[in-house]
Amino acid sequence: MTQQTIQNLFSNYLSKKPIFSNKKVLMSNYTPDTVPHRENQINQLGRIILPALKNERPSNVFIYGSTGTGKTLVTNYVLNELVIAGKQNNTKISTIYVNCKMKRVADTEYRFLAFLADKLGKKVPPTGLPTDQVYKIFFKALEEQEGVLIIIIDEIDSLVDKVGDDFLYNLTRINQDLENVKVAIIGISNNISFTDYLDARVKSSLSEEDLIFPPYNAVQLQDILQERTKIAFSEGILECGVNQKCAALAAQEHGDARRALDLLRVAGEMAERNGDEIISIKHVDMAEEKVDTDRILEVVKTQPKQSKAIIYTLLSKIENESDKILTGDVYNTYIATCKKVILKPLTQRRVSDILSELDMLGIINAKVISNGRYGRTREISLAFSKDLHTKIMDFLKNEFYF
């Protein structure tokens, strides 16, 4: 592209009527003024945490529902309101929000405690101290607090899966040793059967109250999108049926509002990039493909070298042989791949774990099957379209200098 034409491109872009008037409202971290179709949950949660306004400890709450059902949004919304009411009432209410899925922030017991202590104003080094000392620092920080403190632990299941439920046991018993501050815990999880695996004592004290968030249906999603589009886009930009299509697609995916918003945002970006003045159904279709492609490609890109070698092995095996392959085959071919790219091969045990990780990340589908006397193994297939195969393969070939 010559300099002249790129200048034309820029001035063309600037002279067009803008597609977005406020893109922020389509982001997942945006808290709107109202939360449609969650009135019940807002009321229930509100009632549970009411005692905080009288400087009493509210019950611990356990919230569950699948992704994009508004759990975090409702919790933040209600707690914001609670803090405001507390201020008017001269009651000190503070909240700490922790997301246990955030890598290198709160994904281990140490980091989790360090994060909480940090929020309470006590610095803990990122590593180096014994865990019991971090507990001490955290308790000390708590002792200096007063009023009611509500700790929201989002994606709590992923931390418990990783480090066990001991830290929850300690946390739920925290109040016995504290005088000035009352601590309540709100646990949020995507996994409905999560509490089944907890220690009985932890379970009973953590879920003194339970709240369930059902998935949104297509009509409800449409309402949510309608509210946001009024603020997000310039007037008359949206073709009829765009909202419906985004809502319908997201409803198929367990009523995930986050996905609906993503689709709408990316559709807008697609239109913007193409220089179109109206967002049409065509853009939603493009957005659907892009959202999936981007997610998987991003996951592949961020994998360590060994996982990439395994993904490469899987792709080449599936390309050349059958759609479904077994662990043993993968391992043998992986050894060959390692030789080719001069990588020290891992043991089968470790490869088995990496395959489980890839399964959890949604890159592969792995199902444990039994072939009778020919053993038990995992049957592995790829979780994305043929189209994406080529893109990922190209990326990996480039990565390994093939």
Closer of 114 and 296 to DNA (Cβ) = 114
Q: What is the CB neighbour count within 10 angstroms for residue 193?
A: 9
Residues that bind DNA (rule: CB under 7 A) add up to a total of 41
- In degrees rounded to 5, what are phi and psi of residue 349? -60, -45
Taking CB under 7 A as the rule, does residue 165 contact DNA?
no
Short-list 70, 67, 85, CA closest to 35: 70
Within 299-318, the residues that bind DNA by CB under 7 A are 304, 306
Nearer to DNA, 20 or 112 (CB): 112
**Nearest 5°: CA angle at 363, between 357 and 365?**
85
Whole-angstrom distance, CA of residue 247 vs CA of residue 259: 9
Binding pattern for the stretch 67-106 against DNA, x by CB under 7 A and - elsewhere: -------------------------------------x--
CB contact at 8 A, 266 and 290: yes
Q: Is 380 exposed, middle or buried (0-12, 13-18, 19+ CB in 10 A)?
A: buried
From 370, 386, 398, 401, residue interacting with DNA (rule: CB under 7 A): 370
CB of 146 to DNA, least distance (A): 27
> Using CA atoms, how far apart are residues 351 and 12, in angstroms rounded to an integer?
52
Kindly state whether residue 161 participates in binding DNA, applying the rule CB under 7 A. no
Strand partners, 93: 148
Choose between 3 and 347: whose C-beta lies nearer to DNA.
347
Complex with DNA: residue 126 or 236, whichever CB lies closer = 126
- Using the contact rule CB under 7 A, the part of the chain among 40-48, 227-235, 240-248, 324-332 near DNA is 324-332
> What gap in Å lies between CA 230 and CA 220, rounded to an integer?
16
Nearest to 350 by CA among 394, 307, 297: 307
Q: Which residues 107-146 are close enough to bind DNA by CB under 7 A? A: 107-111, 125-131
Q: Which residues make up the interface to DNA (CB under 7 A)?
A: 104, 107-111, 125-131, 304, 306, 326-329, 331, 345-350, 352-356, 368, 370-378
